[in-house]
Amino acid sequence: MTSASPGPSRLTETVDALRTALAESTDLLGSTLGGTLDEAGAAEAAADGVPRAYLDFCRVLDGVSCGPSVQLFGLEEAEEHQFYCEPVVDSPLPLSPEKLYCVGMIQEAPVYLDRADGGVLGAPEAGPDWVDAERLERLAPGIEAFFLERLADPAEYRRLALVDDELVEYDDWLKLLRRAGLSG
């Protein structure tokens, strides 16, 4: 008896649709989709303590810039931003490199992967004053869910990116989502 291999995941299908739409959209300058992380790079990063959930995501999409205010880092860029996990004097946030891994930015505020449960945390409403936030908000149960339910969902992306009604038609990420057939 042969076992059927599972079909492509929702993440893979979404990223493939976005890549196809981006390749056909030479007018979109504000959105960038990273490549994929190879197994050797993933193994090396895992040995260095990078969370497995993040590496699994990077095997499908190694970073995405949705525009100037919202991005998920590729592995190389993430490694350069781990200083955001260090405790900050007088900040009420429970920052710790042992507990958090910085995976992106929203409105100049870091986005973290919780090493314990894989949840995505941040204080995007605080923007550049994120260190003064009272707590980190749970943005999604995992990085794949964060991408699919928050960044690849036009309404949620608009909220996170603070895209007001007058700017909707000019936002390249929203155009890309529409062209990829992802406009809710």
d(CA 181, CA 184): 8
Per-residue pLDDT, 8: 66
- Type of residue found at 128: P
Per-residue pLDDT, 30: 61
The domain ranges of the chain are: 10-177
Where is average pLDDT lowest: 27-31, 38-42, 63-67, 116-120?
27-31
Report the 3 state secondary structure along the chain: CCCCCCCCCHHHHHHHHHHHHHHCCCCCCCCEECCCCCHHHHHHHHHCCCCHHHHHHHHHCCCEEEECCEEECCHHHHHHCHHHHCCCCCCCCCCCCCCEEEEEEECCEEEEEECCCCCEEECHHHHHHHHHCCCCEEEECCHHHHHHHHHCCHHHHHHHHCCCHHHHHHCHHHHHHHHCCCCC
The conformational region for residue 171 under phi > 0 = left, psi -120 to 50 = alpha, else beta, is beta
Per-residue pLDDT, 46: 94
Rg over CA atoms, the chain: 17
Per-residue pLDDT, 2: 45
Confidence of residue 166 (pLDDT cuts 50, 70, 90): confident
Confidence of residue 117 (pLDDT cuts 50, 70, 90): very high
Per-residue pLDDT, 162: 86
Decide which of 166 and 92 is more confident.
92
Q: Looking at the whole model, is its pTM more than 0.85?
A: yes
CATH number at 10-177? 3.40.1580.10
d(CA 85, CA 98): 8
Mean per-residue pLDDT, 55-77: 94
